[in-house]
Amino acid sequence: MPKDNSIKSVLIIGSGPIVIGQACEFDYSGSQAARSIREEGIKVTLINSNPATIMTDPMMADRVYLLPLTVESIEQILEENDIDAVLPTMGGQTALNLAKEAEELGIWEKYNVRLIGVDIKAIDKAEDRELFRNWMIEMGVPVAPAHTANSFLEGKDFAQQIGFPLVIRPSFTLGGGGAGFVHDKSELDEALNRGLQASPIHEVLVEKAVLGWKEFELELLRDNADNVVIICTVENFDPMGVHTGDSITVAPAMTLSDTAFQLMRNTAINMMRDLGNFAGGCNVQFALNPETEEIIAIEINPRVSRSSALASKATGYPIAKIAAKLAIGYNLDELENQITQNTSAYFEPALDYVIVKIPRWNFDKFKGANDVLGLQMKSVGEVMGIGRSFTEAVQKACQSLENDAIGLGTYNKNPAMRPDDLLQYISIPKWDRLFRIKDALMAGVSIKSIVDATLIDPWFLHQIKHLCDIEKQLIEADLDTLTIDLLKEAKRHGFSDLQIAKALGNKITEDQVYEKRKALGITRVFKMVDTCSAEFEAKTPYFYSTFEG
């Protein structure tokens, strides 16, 4: 159906302060949504307590309120403005929780305001761990063995029934706040108390841990006609046990078989269609047993998320913009010229390149902080590399980290470690595990040993091993004997000129490598992120550089 003309004014709820686990990805989404709705002639009012955001720029909305994100602030805005609808899906968990609180207090009904982009039942089903678990069981979707607890004693009793290792997951939190693993009895009391205190409804899910399973995330959009599209399928480099915001992630999924993907896809679509009566976006997370390809549902978020921002940049499909259009009544097939200028929004992006996201941590600023990665997100941001292959993309991402890395490796802060020490080190997920895996492969540690220590899929390790093989060839060469074929191969796989110079040694400079490759005609070309793998002409692409030719 076309735009809902009864909506003349929309209130967008922001995400508040930028904190670890909830950063500028919601500013990105909120800004997109505000522009998307305003271009339809609808008045946009925006509330956010954080002035240091693009969305609070006076150009973004018709009226901006810099107020605390509380029900009292919402009521003040509704008294001062004639608001028809509220869009809470662009402000992370903060906005969803605030919308739910206002609903429970009867604020939306009192001021005759509609919730768009989501409904309250969907928020409850997705964020309340017990409701989510029961809903999955009703749908026949497998979940890990678990129980919900609202008290310490209840949680302890369930934990002893299920057995260790366990996961404690609080309800209605973002970024894994309060979540944690329990490996044995000695860790249980502290983890339970932390989880119960983190949950605004004092509820945790005590769940059997599926450590070592692979983790995937699907980004979906649905319209009022129940059309659903999968925008992006993201694979975590790290297995289950590391929060997805702290995981290296890859799009499209690299190691997913077609049968497992179709099962995941169909399950995600059924989940979104059964979630509630609303049009908008959501993301679904699954864990997959690498040996049997059995899948279990981890969670569903009925809002744009950290991953939605990544998926938007990775595919060129503006998820928040389209989700806002769907929320005000449009269907996917009615939205023409929004993405490629040649298609409706009712199509699924096709990628002919690889995206690698690597999180960025600032443990240096938090002296004494535990740098082991787990279920509670600790990264303060992320970088994204685009290449024609995983190897090129991961190298480009590493070069963007601003931590002295000049590609995957050549990182000088840690002294050289013996192979046995490296294996022990990488068995625990830490911020620099990717670099230490590369060190282990350079030292001759077998891929099987690294798989046993990390449970990372062998495909990724074989790709990193290929980078090590190229680097070893570079180490054995010098500038004069460096062949055009080896230089081309290194550049195709993401080696920077500085990285090559370091490998060649003998005080070779970056400029010397640059001049040599220019003389040999090895220069970068630019490819399109066109969202459709060049199936038809796209008018709104952006570009990435590569040495593929």
10-residue mean pLDDT profile of the chain (549 residues): values are 85 87 80 93 94 88 94 96 94 89 95 93 86 93 87 82 84 73 81 87 85 93 94 94 91 94 96 91 94 93 85 88 93 78 77 93 84 86 94 96 83 71 94 94 95 96 97 92 94 95 89 94 88 61 85
- The encoded tokens of residue 156 equal 């302890």
Cα angle 179-183-186, degrees, rounded to a multiple of 5: 95
Q: Is 495 buried (19+), middle (13-18) or exposed (0-12) by CB count in 10 A?
A: buried
Residue 505 CB neighbour total at 10 angstroms: 12
**Please, which contacts does 346-350 make with residues 24 or more away whose CB atoms are closer than 8 Å?**
346/227, 346/229, 347/229, 347/532, 348/229, 348/230, 348/231, 349/231, 349/232, 349/315, 349/316, 349/317, 349/531, 349/532, 350/531, 350/532, 350/533, 350/535
pTM for the full model?
A: 0.90
The Cα 359–Cα 381 span in angstroms is 6
Q: Is 255 buried (19+), middle (13-18) or exposed (0-12) by CB count in 10 A?
A: middle
Amino acid present at 116: I
- The residues, ordered by sequence, that sit 6+ positions from 142 with a Cβ below 8 Å of its Cβ are 136, 294, 295, 296, 297
- The encoded tokens of residue 484 equal 């055009």
Specify the DSSP element, H or E, that contains 30: helix 25-38
Residue whose entry in the numeric block shows the structure tokens 């997805």: 244
Q: Are 348 and 316 in contact (CB under 8 A)?
A: no
Q: Are 216 and 264 in contact (CB under 8 A)?
A: yes
- The encoded tokens of residue 259 equal 């049968």
Residue-wise pLDDT tens digits, 116-156: 999 888 888 888 888 998 999 999 999 988 888 888 888 88
The Cα 378–Cα 372 span in angstroms is 9
Starting at the edge strand that comes first in sequence, how are the strands of the sheet with 146-149 ordered? 146-149, 204-208, 166-170, 180-182
pLDDT at 249: 96
pLDDT at 247: 94
- The encoded tokens of residue 394 equal 């991961």
The Cα 493–Cα 104 span in angstroms is 55
Amino acid present at 4: D
List the one residue out of 209, 201, 179 whose CA is nearest residue 192. Answer: 179
- The encoded tokens of residue 411 equal 């990182």
List the one residue out of 195, 17, 34, 14 whose CA is nearest residue 92. Answer: 14
pLDDT at 535: 57
Residue 72 CB neighbour total at 10 angstroms: 9
pLDDT at 410: 63
Domains within the chain, CATH numbers bracketed: 9-116 (3.40.50.20), 145-208 (3.30.1490.20), 214-349 (3.30.470.20), 405-528 (1.10.1030.10)
